[in-house]
Structure 1
C-alpha cells in the first residue's frame, strides 16, 4: 500500500515539473514573438518617418522653384538653362549626404534578404521545371534520332551489300563468254520454274486438304439448306445425312434419311458430279468438294486462255461453290448476267 502511494506521489511531482517546463518554454516563445512584433513596428515607423521626410523635402524643393519642379526640357533656352541649374544644385546637395540606411535594430535587412531568397528560390524552381521539361523533350528527340540513325545504318549496310553483289555479278558476267552467259541464264530460269512448280504443288496440296477437311462439308450443308459457309463448323457425314430444317438448323441424327432418298437428293442437287470417274456414287461432302474443284479449274483455264472471249465461265446452276467464291472475293459475276462467273485477275495491275 505504501509503495503504491509513493509511486502515485512520484508521478504527480513528475507531471508538475513537466508542466512548469512546458509553460516556461511557451513563455519564452511568446516573449520572442512579442520582441519580433515590436521590432517590426519600429521598422515600419522608421520607414514611414523617412517617407514623410522625403515628402517634406520634395515640397520644399517645389516651393523654392518658382515654376515648379521641371518634368520636361523647356523649348526656351533661358528656361532650359534655369532647369539645368536647379538640377545641378540638387545633385550637389545629394552628393555629400550619406545613404539612408536602417537603424541598428531594424529588421528591414532581414525582410529584404528573405524576399530576395524567396524570389531566388521561386525562380530556381521554375527554371528547374522548365529545364526538366526541355530535358525530357531532348531525350525523346535523341531516342528518335538514334532510332533513325540505326535504321539508316541498316539501310546503308543493305545497300552497300547489294552494290557489292551487283559488282561481283557484273564482274563475273564480264569474264564470261556469250554462250556461258546464256547457259547461266537458262539455268536460272529453270531454277525459278522449278521453285514455282514446287510452290504450286505445295499450294495445291494445301488446297486439297482444306477442301476435304473443312470446306466441302460446309458447302454441302449450304446446298442442303443449312447455314451459309463459315457460320457452322465441324460438319460431318452424319449431320449431312440427317439434313437440315426449314430454318437451317441440323435435324436430329436419330431420324436418319433412308439411303435411297438420300441418294436421290444428292442426284437432284449435283447431277453428274454425284459420281466419281468409275461411276461410284459420292456422298454430299465428296460431291460438293468435286464441284468446287472442277469450277476452280474451269475458271483458271478460262483466265489463262488467250483472248478475252473465254474469261467467263457459264454456270449450270446457282451453286454454293460459286456463291462462296464471290463472297471470298476470289471470283465475280458478270455485271449483266449472273450465270457467268470469272476469277478476279489480281495480277492485271502488276502486268500493266
Structure 2
C-alpha cells in the first residue's frame, strides 16, 4: 500500500536530518598517534609507487614495443596474436600475485571509508533535493488535475441537468396542441419585447439625466474654448456666461454679461435648437449643448436602425464638442476618409464586418 505524500516527505526529511547529524558528529578516533600513522601510511604508499615505477621502467627497457604499439592492436595477425598472448600471460601472472594491502596500523582504509561516506552523503543530499523538487512538481500537477476534474464534474452535472430540463420541456410540449404552443410562444415574445422596451426606457431616462445634470455643462465649456469634457467636472452657469480665455482658463467675471450678448453667442455656436415662446426664458449655454447632444444621439440612432443597416453615416453640420465626445467615449466613429461623417458603433454587429 502506497504511503501518503506527506508521510513520504516527512520520512525523507527525517533521514536527511539523521545523515546530517552523523556527518557533523565527532568520530571516536584515538588521535594520540594519528600523525605518526599518517606518515607511515604515506611512506608505504610512496614505497609502493616507487616499486611500481621501477617495475615499469624495467618493463620498458626489456620490451621492444613502443607505447603506441602496446596500447593498440596490430594490423598484422601474427603480431596481434603475440599481443593477445602477452595480455593473457600478464593476467595469469597477476591472478597468482597477492593483492597489495596496507599494513595493520595504516590509516588508508579509514581515509578511503571516509571519502566514500562523504561521497555517499553528498549524493544522498542531491537525491533528496531532486526528489523534493519532483514531489513538489507532482503535487502541483495533482492539484491542477484535481481542479480540472472538478470543473469537468461541474460541466457534466450542468449538462445532465440541462438534458433533463430539455427532455421535460419536450415531453410537456408534446402533450399540448399546436395552437396552444403558438399562443404560449406569442405571449413569451410579447413579454420579452416588453422587457426590452422597459429596459430601453430605463436606459434612455438614465442617459437623459446624465446629459442634463453632468454632461451638458462640460460640453458647453468645451464649445466655448474651455477644457475638454472631463477636465473640469463642476461647471457653473456663471462660468459659462463669463467664458474662457485663449488658454482654456475660466475668465474672471468683473461684471455680469448682458443677456443679449450671451444669446447672440449661443445662437452663433448652437443656432436655434428649440422654439422659445415669448414667456419662456432664453436658453443657457448648458441647455443649448444639452439640446444639441439629444438631437445628435437621436439622429445617429435613427441612422443606425435605418435602411443602411448600420453602415450609413450622418453628415455633420459642424465639428461639435458633442460629436468629439461620442468618438472619445467609443460610442461613435468618424468616417475613415471624412471627419464630417459620423455613425454610432453597432456593438451587435460582427467584429470583422
Q: TM-score range by the shorter chain?
A: 0.7 to 0.9
Q: Which runs of 5+ in 1 are unaligned?
A: 1-31
For the pair 1:204 / 2:207, whether they are aligned, the reply is no
Range that drifts further, 294-303 or 304-313: 304-313
Q: Equivalent residue for 2:111?
A: 111
| RCO higher in structure (CA 8 A, sep ≥6) | 2
1:262 — aligned with what? Answer: 262
Deviates more, 1:102-111 or 1:262-271: 262-271
Q: 1-side partners of 2:50 and 2:318: how far apart? A: 114
Note the C-alpha offset of 1:335: 5.2
Unaligned runs of 5+ in 2: 1-29
Moved more, 254-263 or 205-214: 254-263
Cα gap change, 1:350 to 1:196, in 2 (>3 Å): farther
Shift of 1:81: 9.2
In the TM superposition, what is the alpha-carbon distance from 1:213 to its structure 2 partner?
A: 1.7
The alpha-carbon deviation at position 58 of structure 1 amounts to: 6.7
Larger radius of gyration: 1
Partner Cα separation in structure 1 for residue 324 and residue 289 of structure 2: 13
Query: For residues 52 and 229 of structure 2, what CA distance do their matches in structure 1 show?
Result: 102
What's the Cα RMSD here?
A: 3.6
Aligned residues of 2:219 and 2:229 also touching (Cα < 8 A):
yes
Larger helix percent: 1
Helix, strand or coil at the partner of 2:307: coil
Instruction: Report the 3-state secondary structure (helix = DSSP H, G, I; strand = E; otherwise coil) of the residue aligned with 1:332.
Output: strand
Residue 117 of structure 1 and its aligned partner are, at CA, apart by 0.8
**Residue 204 of structure 1, CA deviation:** 0.7
Aligned residue for 1:93? 96
Bigger mean CA deviation after superposition, 193-202 or 222-231? 222-231
Give the deviation of 1:148 after TM superposition: 2.4
Aligned length: 318
Deviation readout 1:150-177 (Å, 9 max, x if unpaired): 3323332322222222222222222222
Matched residues in 2 for 1:309 and 1:111: separation?
90
Distance 1:275 1:251, change over 3 A: farther
Query: What is aligned with 1:128?
Result: 128
Preserved contact between residue 310 and residue 346 of structure 2 (Cα < 8 Å)? no
What CA distance in whole angstroms lies between the structure 1 residues aligned with 2:88 and 2:228? 110
Q: How far apart, in 2, do the equivalents of 1:338 and 1:89 lie? A: 103
Match of 1:38 in 2: 36
With normalisation by structure 2, the TM-score equals 0.76
**Matches of 2:203 and 2:84 in 1, distance apart?**
109
Deviation at 1:258, TM superposition (A): 2.1
The CA distance in 2 between the partners of 1:315 and 1:225, in whole Å, is 20
The answer as to 2:51 corresponding to 1:48 is no
Cα displacement string for residues 291-343 of structure 1 (whole angstroms, at most 9, x for unaligned residues): 11111112212222235799443434332222322333323345565544332
Q: Cα gap change, 1:210/1:90 in structure 2, threshold over 3 Å: closer, same or farther?
A: same
Farther off after superposition, 238-247 or 328-337: 328-337
The 1:337/1:116 distance shift into structure 2, 3 A limit, reads closer
8 Å Cα contact 2:237-2:286 kept in structure 1: yes
